[in-house]
Amino acid sequence: MSVFTPDLYYTHVTKIDMDALVERGIRHLLLDLDNTLLPRDSSDITPAVREWLASLADHGVTACLVSNNWHAHVHDVATDLGLPIVAKALKPFPTAFRRGLETLGAGAGGTAVVGDQVFTDVLGGNLLGMTSILVMPLSASDLPHTLLLRRLERFVLAGRSPLA
């Protein structure tokens, strides 16, 4: 399997089968923020995403936000959600993922990375041996370099459909 291939692929974070993850031994999540939990350039977390995040504790799963974004609003969102954050992460470089693991007191084997980008979230998680979960982006709006990478993602994901 390529380092660019996600272990799991879903249409939305709320579709992730948490029972199946727990069966795999996943007890920790490193969550991307922009276009994963909320649309880019937004601070609005939908009730469905809030409910999903709240359900993590019911499954015995902890979470940390890991975002390349560094603007004040990401810290405000993290505070609002009651989650720790590693901002200005420089994903896919391993340092930010390791900081997220340290924050949760977690090891790579029991952790999944959840995000909307193959070349940041999936690649970074796979390089460290974590389970990688790709979700479809919440918005078509993105930075110019990300839009370019989205074109390359189509080749990586060719023939692959989300599980749910």
Question: Is 139 among the domain residues?
Answer: yes
Question: Is 107 among the domain residues?
Answer: yes
The pair phi, psi for residue 143, each rounded to 5°, is -70, 150
Question: For position 132, which CATH number holds?
Answer: 3.40.50.1000
Look at residue 132 and give its three-state secondary structure: strand
Question: Is 108 among the domain residues?
Answer: yes
Nearest CA to 135 out of 155, 120, 152, 151 is that of 120
The residues, any chain, with a CB within 8 Å of residue 115's CB and separated by 6 or more, are 31, 32, 36, 91, 121, 122, 125, 133, 134, 135
Q: What is the pTM (predicted TM-score) of this model?
A: 0.90
Q: Structural domain of residue 14, as residue ranges? A: 8-156
The ranges of the chain with pLDDT < 70 are 1, 140-152, 155
Question: Is 116 among the domain residues?
Answer: yes
Look at residue 74 and give its three-state secondary structure: helix
User: What's residue 160's pLDDT?
Assistant: 77
Alpha carbon distance 117, 91 (integer Å): 10
| Cis previous bond, 162, omega within 30 | no
User: What's residue 43's pLDDT?
Assistant: 75
User: What's residue 153's pLDDT?
Assistant: 73
User: What's residue 149's pLDDT?
Assistant: 66
Question: Is 65 among the domain residues?
Answer: yes
Q: Which two tokens stand for residue 79?
A: 């505070």
Question: Is 3 among the domain residues?
Answer: no
Structural domains counted in the chain? 1
Question: Is 161 among the domain residues?
Answer: no
Q: Which two tokens stand for residue 86?
A: 């590693």
Residue given tokens 């948490």 in the structure block? 18
User: What's residue 145's pLDDT?
Assistant: 65
Question: Is 12 among the domain residues?
Answer: yes
